[in-house]
């Protein structure tokens, strides 16, 4: 559920940044938050990929 929550927040951040009505400070803060969320999502996907790979290798044995 955390992945979905992070992706939703990331989508909100992108939409907000695309509006273009933020101050520089607000934009930078949202960008930094987005970078952290993106990293967390990437890590979650890598962990899921590893779990799937392990499951597939277990079935192949």
CA 9 – CA 22 distance, rounded (Å): 17
Pseudo-torsion of CA 48, 53, 54, 59, nearest 10°?
130
Pseudo-torsion of CA 31, 32, 33, 37, nearest 10°?
100
Q: What is the pLDDT of residue 60?
A: 77
pLDDT in tens, 25-59: 999 999 999 999 999 999 999 999 999 999 998 88
Mean pLDDT value of segment 11-23: 97
- Give the global pTM: 0.84
């Amino acid at each position: 559920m955390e992945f979905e929550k992070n992706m939703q927040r990331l989508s909100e951040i992108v939409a907000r940044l695309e509006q273009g009505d933020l101050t520089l400070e607000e934009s930078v803060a949202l960008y930094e938050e987005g970078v952290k969320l993106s990293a967390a999502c990437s890590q979650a996907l890598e962990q899921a990929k590893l779990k799937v790979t392990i499951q597939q290798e277990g079935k192949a044995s």
